[in-house]
Amino acid sequence: MSATAAPEQKKGQVSAVSPRRRALRPYLLVLPSLLLTIGILYPFGLGVFYTFFDYAATKPNPDFIGFQNYVSIFTSSDFWQSAWVTLRYAVGATLVETVLGVGIALLLFRGSAAGRVLEKVLIVPLMIAPVIATIMWSLMLQPSVGVINYLLGPFGLGGVEWTDSPRGALLSAIFIDVWIFTPFVALLALAGLRSLPRDPFEAAAVDGAGYWFTFRKLTLPMLWPYILVAVIFRFMDSLKMFDVIYALTRGGPGDSMMVLQVRGYQEAILYTNFSVGLTYTIVIWAAVFIATRLLVGIFGRAQARAAGP
C-alpha cells in the first residue's frame, strides 16, 4: 500500500460529516427545546389573550374588554382575601419544611445505621401523589372516625375538629404539605452537606471549635445556597398549591381557604367563566415569577458569599 493512497475506512471508524449535515446539526439540537417552548408558550399566550375578553360558556362569542378582568379582580375583596391566604399558606409551609428538612438532613448526615435506613424511608411521602396523601390525611383527621383523634383520646385531646375553623383548616393543610414535601428539602440539604469540602471542618476540629460554632460559621453559610434552592422550589410550588387544599376543604370553611389556584379553578371549570379563571391564573403566574426572581437574586448573593472572596 503506497503512502499516497487514500486510507480505507476501517470498521467502526466515524465517517466524515458532510458540511450540509454539519450546518443542520445546531438546529436539530435545539429542535426539541424549541418544540417544548412552543408547546408552553402557545397556550400561555392564548391564555393571556383570553384575559382581555369576557369569554364564558354563557358568552361563547366574547367581546374585547381590555383590562376589565384584571380591574375587577384587583378591586375585589375576594381576590385580596385569596392572596392573603395563599401567602400565609406558602410562607408557613415553606418555613416549616425548610427548618424541618435541614434538621433532618443534619441528623442523617451523621451516617448512623438508622440514618441510612431513614434516608430510604424518607422519600416515601414524595412517591405518593399529593391528592392521595391529602385524602389519606383527611380520613385520619376526621374527628369521629379518624385515627388521629383516636390516638389523642387517651390524653384527653380527642374530639378536635381539625378542619372546621379557618385556622384549623390552614394549619391542617400546611401540616399535610409539610408531611409530603419536607423529605424533598431534607434530601436536597443532605446532598448539599455531602458535597461540602472537608478541609475547613477538619481545620476547625483541630482548632477545637465546638459543634454550634462550626454549624453557624461553616456549615450553614456553605449550605445556604442549597437551602435557598429548596426554598425557591417549595415557595413556588406552595404559591400555586391546589390539590392539598381542594381535596381537604374545597376552599372552606366559608371562603377561608380559597387560595388563588382554587378560585381560578372554580371560576374556569365549575362556573365556566373562562376569562376570569384565566385572569386568576395569569396573576398567579406573575406572583410566582416575581417571587422567584427575588429569591434567585438572594440565591446569587448567598452563592457568592459561600464561594468566599
Partner 1 sequence: MEEQRSLDEAALSAQISRAQFLKKMGMGAAALSGAQLLASCGAFGGAGGGASSGQGANDISGPFDWQREKGKTISLLLNKHPYTDALLADLNSFKEKTGINVEHDIFPEENYFDKVTLDLSSGQANYDAFMLGAYMVWQYGPPGWLEDLNPWIENKSATNSDYDWEDLLPNLRAADQWSFHVGDPLGTGGQWALPWGFETNTIAYQSDVFDKLGLKPAETLDELVDLAATLNDKAEGMYGIAVRGTRSWATIHPGFMTMYSRMGAKDYEVQGDSLTPAMDSETSIAFHDKWMKMVRDSGPPSWTQYTWYQVSSDLGARKAAMIFDADIASYFQNQPGAAPAAGKIAWHPGPKGPGGSLATNLWVWSLGMNAKSTNKSAAWLFLQWATGKEHLRKAAVEADHVDPVRKSIAEDPAFKDRMAKNKGYLDTFNQVIDSTAIQFTPQPKFFDTTTSWAANLQDIYRGADAKGALDGLASDLKSKVA
Count, residues near partner 1 per rule CB under 8 A: 64
- Cα 232 from Cα 212, distance rounded (Å): 26
Smallest distance, Å, CB 94 to partner 1? 14
Residue closer to partner 1, measured from CB, 109 or 271 = 271
Question: Which cell numbers hold the place of 65?
Answer: 374588554
The reply on whether position 62 binds partner 1 by CB under 8 A is yes
The reply on whether position 164 binds partner 1 by CB under 8 A is yes
Q: Which of 9, 21, 22, 216 binds partner 1 (CB under 8 A)?
A: 22
Cβ–Cβ under 8 Å, residues 303 and 225: yes
Smallest distance, Å, CB 61 to partner 1? 6
Rounded to 5 degrees, φ, ψ at 197 are -65, 145
Cβ–Cβ under 8 Å, residues 264 and 200: no
The reply on whether position 281 binds partner 1 by CB under 8 A is yes
Smallest distance, Å, CB 123 to partner 1? 21
Smallest distance, Å, CB 269 to partner 1? 5
Smallest distance, Å, CB 116 to partner 1? 29
Smallest distance, Å, CB 119 to partner 1? 25
- Cα 274 from Cα 279, distance rounded (Å): 9
Residue closer to partner 1, measured from CB, 159 or 210 = 159
The reply on whether position 285 binds partner 1 by CB under 8 A is yes
Q: Which of 46, 71, 117, 205 binds partner 1 (CB under 8 A)?
A: 46
Binding mask 232-261 for partner 1 (x = CB under 8 A): x---x---x--------xxxxxxx------
Angle between helices 166-195 and 130-141 (to 10 degrees): 130
Question: Which cell numbers hold the place of 128?
Answer: 405518593
The reply on whether position 41 binds partner 1 by CB under 8 A is yes
The reply on whether position 58 binds partner 1 by CB under 8 A is yes
Smallest distance, Å, CB 273 to partner 1? 8
Q: Which of 159, 202, 220, 305 binds partner 1 (CB under 8 A)?
A: 159
The reply on whether position 144 binds partner 1 by CB under 8 A is yes
Q: Where on the chain is the footprint of partner 1 (CB under 8 A)?
A: 22, 40-41, 43-44, 46-47, 50, 53, 55-58, 60-62, 138, 142-145, 159, 161-166, 229, 232, 236, 240, 249-255, 264-266, 268-274, 277-278, 281-282, 284-285, 288-289, 292-293, 295-296, 299-300, 303
